[in-house]
Amino acid sequence: MNAKSFFPALLGLALFVPLQAQEPLRVAAAADLEPALPPILKQFHQATGIRAEATFQASAMLTAQIQNGAPFDLFLSADLSYPKRLIDAGLADAGDLPNNSTPVIYAKGTLVLWARKDSQLPPPSLDLLRHATLKSLAIANPERAPYGRAALAALTGLKLYNALKPRLVTAENIAQAAQFVDSGNADAGLISLTSALTPRLAASGSYFVIPRDLYPPIEQGVVIVSKTRQRAGAQKLIDFLLSAPVQAQLASKGLTPVK
C-alpha cells in the first residue's frame, strides 16, 4: 500500500472505531416509563459514558417486536409475564442474577383514576365510577398493557365492568389512555400514577389512588435480550436502575421502589 492510499485508510479506521464504541443501548420500555425514564438514561450516560435510547410502547407490542427480531438490548416491561415469556422462549434472560430465569423486578406500578379539574364531574373517587354523569372512561388495552389488565380487574372487582363496558375508551397503551382523558376525549381515565404526576396532568387534573387490593400487583420486570452485542452495558443499566438514588427517583415519579 502506498502512502497516498495508506493515510485515507488509516483515517477511515480511526473514524470507524469511535462510531462503533458510541452505539447506544437500545431499550424497549413500557409506556408508563415515558415520564420517568429519559432523565435516568441521561444520568446513566453521565455516570458511565454509555448512551441509551428508549422506545416507549405497550409491553405486549414490544414483546412481539423482540420475538420478531427487533434489535433491542434491554426490555423494561410494565409486568413480569411478557419478559418471562421471552425468557421461556430463549430470547432473553435476567443477567447476572443467580436465577436468571425470572425477570428482575425494578419497580411496582400504581393505578389511579384521573379527571380534569375543569370537568363537571365530582372529584375522582370510587364513587365517580358509579356516577351517572360519567359518560366515558379511558383505559389501556387489557390485551396489550398491564395497566389495562389492572383496570379491568379493578372494575370487575367493584362489579362495575358490565355497566361501564359501553363507556370504555380503549387506548393502545397507558400513555395514550392519559392523552385521551387529558385532551377531553374521555371524561376520566384509569391511568398510571407516573402519568398523573407529570407536570401537565398534575396542573390540569386530580387523581384518586385505586386500592391495591382491587387489582394484581403491577410488578415491573427487566430482562436482557439474548441477541444483544452490549451485554455488559445492559447489565450496568440494570444495576443503575436498582441503585438507591435511582430507586428514590422512580418513587418520586410514581413507581414504588423495590429497595
Give the C-alpha separation, 128 to 179, whole Å.
20
The whole model's pTM is what?
Answer: 0.85
DSSP reduced 3-state for 19: helix
Mean pLDDT, residues 208-226: 96
Percent of the chain with pLDDT over 70: 90
Give the C-alpha separation, 230 to 23, whole Å.
9
Backbone angles phi, psi at 185, to 5 degrees: -80, -5
Is the pLDDT at 18 greater than 70? The verdict is no
- List the chain domain ranges: 3-108+218-252, 111-209
pLDDT value, residue 11: 41
Grid cell, residue 174, equals 397507558
pLDDT value, residue 22: 62
Mean pLDDT, residues 173-185: 95
Quickly tell me which residue has 442474577 as its cell: 97
The fold for domain 3-108+218-252 equals D-Maltodextrin-Binding Protein; domain 2 (3.40.190)
Q: Examine domains 3-108+218-252 and 111-209 and report if their fold is the same.
A: yes
pLDDT tens readout for residues 101-113 = 789 999 999 999 9
Question: Which CATH architecture best describes the domain 111-209?
Answer: 3-Layer(aba) Sandwich (3.40)
CB neighbours (10 Å) of residue 167?
14
Residues 6+ apart with CB under 8 A from 151: 111, 139, 140, 142, 190, 215
Categorize the per-residue pLDDT at 3 as very low, low, confident or very high, splitting at 50, 70 and 90.
very low
Quickly tell me which residue has 452485542 as its cell: 229
CB 112 within 8 A of CB 207: yes
